[in-house]
A and B are shown apart, each in its own frame.
Chain A
C-alpha cells in the first residue's frame, strides 16, 4: 500500500522526488500537469498524492478538487509542494483539504518522513472505517434481525402457555412449529454472527493443510443432502478424484457449505447444481465453481453481494428467510485462504459462484 502520484509542472522536480521515493521502495507515478494526473486517477488506485500548488492551467488545488469529484481516488490524502516564501498559499493548503505541505526547497529526510507518516495515517484511517462499518453491521443485525424471531417466539409461547388447552391439535401444532422455526432462525443467525465475530477478532486461526477436495465436498454434502432432496434438486459433484488444495480445511468448508446451501435455497424444485473445479493456468490456484439453475441475481445487485454495508438478503424459493451474512463469511474465508471470490449470474437462468484456493504453499496468503 504505497502507490504515490506526483503532479508537478517542473519536470526536474518530478525526477528528484520520484528518485527519492523509489529509492525508499515506494511505487510512484508522475504527471506533468493536473489534467494528466486526473487521467491517471481514473484507472489507478493511489494511496497518496504529492501535488505542486503553482501550475499553469489547473493549479494544484483545482486539480485536487477535480480528483476528489469524479474518480476512484476520492478519499486519498494530498500533500502540496509550496515555495518556502509563498506565505499566501501555505495556509490555503489546509483550507483546501491538504494534509500537509512540503516546502521547496525541502530536505530529503523530511520529505520521506512526511510521506511515510501520512501513508500510515491513511492506512489506519481505512482500517478504522472498516471496523466501524463492521460494528454498525453487528448492531443492526442484533437490533433488527435477531429481535424479530424473538418477538414471535415470545408472543407465541406466551399464547400457548395461557391458552393451549383451548386450541385443537392442528392449531396447537401450527403455533409450536412457528416457535420452532423462529428459534431455528435465531440460532442460525447467532451461529453466523459468532463465526463472523470470531473471524473479525482473529480468534479463528489460519491453519493450512493439504486437503483432498473430493472428500471435503463429500462430507459437506452429507449434511446438505436432506435440504437438496426436499426440493428434488440434483447436486452433481464434478470434481476429479485426486484434486488437492493447500488451504485451511474449516475455512474452505465454510465457503463451500454456504455456497452450496445458497444454491439450494435459491433454486426451484427440480433444479440442479454442479460443483466443479478448474486449474488456473500460470498460477498456483484452483478455481472452484458452484453453479445452480436457480433464480439468478440482477446486475445491479451483484456488486453489493459481498459488501458489508449493504444488506442484499432476499427470501429463497420456498420463502426461506436469511441473514445476508453467509456471503460475507464466504468472502472473509476465501480471502484468508489467499484466494478471491466472485459471481457470474443471469436472472432466471442461474448463478455461478466461483472462488480460488491455492494448490500449494504460497507464503503471501493473508494470515
Chain B
C-alpha cells in the first residue's frame, strides 16, 4: 500500500489550532485508506465516512469561528467554499462505484483547500499584524 499523503510543513497554515485539526483530518483519511486496503466491511467503511463527514463539519465551524474573530474580509466567500465542499462530499459518498473515489476526493480536497484557501487566512493576519492566538492549551502545557 503506497502512502497516499503524509503531513508536511508545506501544509502548515501557520495557525496552530487549525494545523492540529488538519492533522487529525489527514489521520482520518489515511486510516480510511488503510481499511479499504484491508477489505473491511461496507458497514465499517460507512461508519468511517460518517466520521470524516462529522469531523469536516466540526473543523469548518472551527475555521469559521477563527475567521470571525479576526474579522476576515473574505469570510463569506470562505464559508461558501465550505458549503461547496460539503455538497461535493455528499456526491462523492453516494457515487460509491469505488470507495477509492471517495478517498481521492478527500485527499484532493485537503491539498487544494488547505494550501490555497486556508493559507490566505494566515497571510491576511501577517499583512495586518493581527496576533494569532488560536492555540491549544493541552498541547502547550
* Cα-based distance from A6 to B83 in the complex (angstroms): 19
A105 to B60, CA, bound (A): 14
Decide yes or no whether A54 CB sits under 8 A from chain B: yes
Does any Cβ of B come within 8 Å of A10's Cβ? yes
Stretch at the interface among A82-90, A140-148, A215-223, A352-360: A82-90
Residue of B nearest to A10 (CB): B87
Asked if B87 and A83 make an inter-chain contact with CB atoms under 8 angstroms apart, the answer reads yes
Task: Given A20-B94, A85-B60, A105-B53, decide whether A13 and B86 contact each other with a Cβ distance below 8 A.
Answer: no
Chain B interface size, as a band, is: 10 to 19
How far does the alpha carbon of A132 sit from the alpha carbon of B57 in the complex, in Å? 46
Task: Please measure, in the bound complex, the distance between the C-alpha atom of A86 and the C-alpha atom of B93, giving whole angstroms.
Answer: 19
- The answer to whether B94 touches A85, judged by C-beta atoms less than 8 angstroms apart, is no
Q: Does A187 contact B (CB under 8 A)?
A: no
Q: Is the CB of A12 within 8 A of B95?
A: yes
Are the C-beta atoms of B86 and A83 separated by less than 8 Å? yes
Task: State which residues 37-87 of A face B: CB under 8 Å.
Answer: 54, 83-86
Q: Known contacts A83-B82, A85-B82, A85-B83: does B91 contact A13 (CB below 8 Å)?
A: yes
Residues of A within 8 A of B53 (CB): 105
State how many angstroms separate the Cβ of B62 from the closest Cβ of chain A. Answer: 11
B86 touches A105 (CB 8 A): yes
Q: For the complex, is A210 an interface residue (Cβ under 8 Å from B)?
A: no
A-B contacts, CB under 8 A, total: 42
Q: Answer yes or no: A113 CB below 8 A from chain B CBs.
A: no
A62 to B75 Cα, complex, angstroms = 24
The distance in angstroms between the C-alpha atoms of A106 and B94, with both chains bound, is 9
> Smallest distance from the beta carbon of A153 to chain B beta carbons, Å?
71
- Asked if B26 lies at the interface with its beta carbon under 8 angstroms from chain A, I say no
Nearest A residue to B49, CB-CB: A105
- Evaluate contact between A86 and B91: CB separation under 8 angstroms: no
A104 CB-CB contact with B under 8 Å: yes
Partner of B90, one of A16, A19, A85: A16
Name the interface residues of B31-88: CB closer than 8 Å to any CB of A: 53, 57, 60-61, 64, 80, 82-83, 86-88
> Chain A contacts of B64 at CB under 8 A?
85
5 residue pairs from A and B, CB less than 8 Å apart: A12-B95, A20-B94, A105-B53, A105-B93, A108-B94
Contact residues of B with A, CB < 8 Å?
53, 57, 60-61, 64, 80, 82-83, 86-91, 93-95
Interface residues of A (CB under 8 A from B): 10, 12-13, 16, 19-20, 54, 83-86, 104-106, 108
Which 3 residue pairs of A and B lie closest in terms of their CB atoms, listed nearest first?
A105-B90, A83-B83, A12-B91
Given contacts A16-B94, A83-B83, A85-B86, 6 further A-B contacts (CB under 8 A): A10-B88, A16-B90, A16-B95, A85-B61, A106-B90, A108-B94
